[in-house]
Amino acid sequence: DAKTTQPNSMESNEEEPVHLPCNHSTISGTDYIHWYRQLPSQGPEYVIHGLTSNVNNRMASLAIAEDRKSSTLILHRATLRDAAVYYCILRPGGTSYGKLTFGQGTILTVHP
Amino acid sequence: NAGVTQTPKFQVLKTGQSMTLQCAQDMNHNSMYWYRQDPGMGLRLIYYSASEGTTDKGEVPNGYNVSRLNKREFSLRLESAAPSQTSVYFCASSSELRTSGANVLTFGAGSRLTVL
């Protein structure tokens, strides 16, 4: 299975944009790029996903490199509630049910 | 909306005891999963059920059994608990439409298990 590489930790100030990078150089043509986050003492929650084109939703934006070997999760204005572990995950297309491989993710610290 | 509900939230067991973690979802999802998360680590898949009546092993199935009771419920059983099974367990579900790569998982709040 293709793997992802993320920085162990990042820091940001409140109300500033945050760019969380993810490398996935062995991504296959049918892999979707998913981002989840896990707030302290909670289960992971879905943030955003994409295949080839950049995506926006109410939580964040996802910028996907043209060669799809990297992506960046963008939080436009970080808040204290965005402090969490962010996981970048490749989800195979087809019938690879549930075989999401969660790495250690990026711990995001947001300073007031 | 309840989403994915796990019980119990906390449990302490002695080595060798058995217990079942319960999971139920009210989103009419086809697929359900059990993950474990150890301190400072990501989630590892224990078992999953692609649809009612089917179950398959994930990355770390040893020491666990599962039952997909119906479309809503997916339980995880520890027959003889060991200290190495001390962990936080998460249940998740997804709809698994035809283009499965786009499907999103919804997670429960977790069950914290300690085995002494």
Tens digit of each residue's pLDDT (9 = 90 or more) over A78-100? 999 999 999 999 987 665 555 67
pLDDT of A103 reads: 81
Question: Average pLDDT, stretch A97-112?
Answer: 84
- The answer to whether A25 and A77 are in contact (CB under 8 A) is no
pLDDT of A97 reads: 56
- Residue B25, pLDDT > 60, answer yes
- Residue B41, pLDDT > 90, answer no
Chain B within 8 Å of A102 (Cβ-Cβ)?
A: yes
pLDDT digits (tens, 9 = 90+) for A12-67: 999 999 999 999 999 988 888 999 999 998 999 999 999 999 999 988 999 999 99
Does B94 sit within 8 Å of A46, measured CB to CB? no
Question: Average pLDDT, stretch B69-76?
Answer: 95
Does B90 sit within 8 Å of A43, measured CB to CB? yes
pLDDT of A94 reads: 64
Lay out the sheet containing B4-7: strands in order across.
B4-7, B19-25, B74-78, B65-68
Chain A within 8 Å of B107 (Cβ-Cβ)?
A: yes
Does B101 sit within 8 Å of A30, measured CB to CB? yes
pLDDT of A3 reads: 86
- The answer to whether B3 and B26 are in contact (CB under 8 A) is yes
pLDDT of A62 reads: 97
pLDDT of A91 reads: 84
- Residue B38, pLDDT > 60, answer yes
pLDDT of B81 reads: 96
Question: Average pLDDT, stretch A68-72?
Answer: 96
* CA neighbor of B101 nearest in space, from A31, A100, A87, A52: A31
Question: Maximum CA pair distance of chain A?
Answer: 44
